[in-house]
Amino acid sequence: MSESRLDLRGIYPPIPTPFDAQEAVDLAALQLNLEFLEAHPLRGVVVLGSNGEAVHLTMDERVSIVGSVRSLLPPERLLIAGTGCHSTRQTIELSLAVASAGADAVLVLPPHYYKSRMTQDALIRHYHAVADASRIPVLVYNMPACTGMDLSAETISHIAEHPAIIGLKDSSGDVVKLGALREKLGLGFQLLAGSAGFLLPALSVGAVGGVLALANIAPKQCLAIHQLATTGNWDGAQAIQTRMVAPNAAVTRRWGVAGLKAAMDLLGLTGGPVRLPLLPLEPEEVAELKTLLMDADILVSKP
């Protein structure tokens, strides 16, 4: 395992893709959302992930969004782009395209359409082929909720043997797996929690940060958990972590992208509509979400 030349330590919001009423990409809204995030010391952002509705975007839209975000993002902040496709060839093509558009690293979901044939050997060959071709570092993205596949520690360890594969975003919540990977692979392979719901437990076993949907609406709280934990104030970090559990669940596994976009709208950002077939939250769901955000002090009522 070679040491990484790209330091991933920190917090990354996986930003949603804002659409207008006609479901076209809304670049003006994207700029406003990024300006809000730039006011906080985040390490960077992730685009074209599940929260970015990447599966609802054309290939041209994906590359264009990467270029737009790079032009709006301060140069010192990392831009990580999701490029996982169902074929190795297409994943390589998209990875090369987003690198040319300004991405600093690619985040690659495993191919999962033919999941019964995605043996350990098939997955290792896929990731190594992508890493061989990529001009920028590669991160593995384990997200069982979307792929129906949960990559084992053994499989990830073999994938990580490639020197260009520098880390893992894990959204499974399996902290035991993360601890096993840290023990086996050392500090050269960087681990990122894939949800704010288990950020603190992940940090406790060696994760260096997180890619957190909640960081789009509560960057201050997510950054505080990370900062307090890394300086040894575990009690302080735990107090914030527990307050973030309910709002995080609301914008991830409960209401997903529609919930996150609704939360952004409530905070005065631009979440905007989702693309069909996703549907927006019902009014009563928005009202419940608003209460959750206020209870967690993410949304403060105006006098």
Distance CA 33, CA 55 (A): 21
Distance CA 216, CA 214 (A): 5
Task: Indicate which residue of 169, 220, 261, 290 is catalytic.
Answer: 169
Distance CA 230, CA 249 (A): 24
Of the candidates 190, 215, 137, 216, which has an alpha carbon nearest to the alpha carbon of residue 8?
190
Of the candidates 271, 137, 118, which has an alpha carbon nearest to the alpha carbon of residue 192?
137
90: exposed, middle or buried (Cβ count in 10 Å: 0-12, 13-18, 19+): middle
Distance CA 76, CA 4 (A): 17
CA angle 12, 84, 89 (to 5 degrees): 145
Q: Is 177 a catalytic residue?
A: no
Tokens of 268: 């005065």
297: left (phi over 0), alpha (psi -120 to 50) or beta: left
Say how many CA atoms lie within 13 Å of 181 toward its Cβ.
33
Q: Which helix (H) or strand (E) holds 138?
A: strand 138-142
- As annotated, the active-site residues are 169
